[in-house]
Amino acid sequence: MVENLEEIHKTTTIISTRVNFSVPKKRWLATYSMKYPQLQFEILSLLSISKDQGNCLLHIKGSKVISFFKEFSKEYDPKKYQLILEEKGELLMNIIFDSPWVIWSIVEPQVIILYPIEIQNGKITIELIAPIRKIEEIFRKPKWSKLNLKFTVAKKYCGAPSLNKHQKNILDKAVEYGLFDIPRVNSLTDAVKMLENETGKKISVSALSENIRRITKKLAECYINCRDTNEVELDLLLELNKIEKG
């Protein structure tokens, strides 16, 4: 049994992936997002009330929000929605909806959903952080097969770079002293003197420069690892994982 995050990383690949698929055609979100393709729908939170009902906080923005709401309010059960905010070009609504199978499919396997969830022109994009085996467990189910799944995948889960306490302090001070500014606000020699005055500890110019290079390398590697690849199919996603595992 895996008991901690370090062990999880040893036994499986955790990835960050954006999953894009067609909203099922019978859903009201599919109907309205296709009828109003200029509108951008964002789900800010998504909860399951029961196996038959779900609740979402929905942010809608675009030039046709008034036309959308007039139509929506006539057709949707008034007991199942609440208009929270109405401003020029945007709405914020709380909506109860039926048969939330998408929620159950993703929440039950205990993956992390990053909000907002984006819907536009009949397409929905959800960003997930999960072990790759969980991605397969979710999206291999037959109900997803006709929804034109596409995955945009980062090379691996993108957390903050692993800087130790000393490196974090050096980074904070380097930014504070303007060492990354162009031109520099202070020279490395000046920065060393300020560090010594603040901490009472001596550090050489070469040591400070080396620390900054090491930190910069870690930040650059984190950025490179987090850049998205092209869209891939589920089979290719799993194959890439096998290749990475060697």
What digits encode the pLDDT tens for the residues 7-23?
A: 434 445 677 788 888 88
Confidence at 54, pLDDT banded by 50, 70, 90: confident
Q: What is the pTM of this model?
A: 0.63
Distance of alpha carbon 220 from alpha carbon 161, whole angstroms:
9
Question: What is the structure's pLDDT at 6?
Answer: 42
Distance of alpha carbon 220 from alpha carbon 78, whole angstroms:
51
Q: Which of 173, 166, 215 is nearest to 197 (CA)?
A: 173
Q: Which residues contact 213 (CB under 8 A, 6 or more apart)?
A: none
User: What average pLDDT does this structure show over 90-119?
Assistant: 83
Report whether 127 contacts 18 (CB < 8 A). yes
Domain map (residue ranges) of the chain: 5-155+228-245, 165-224
162: region left, alpha or beta (phi > 0 left; psi from -120 to 50 alpha): beta
Query: What kind and span of H or E run contains 138?
Result: helix 132-139
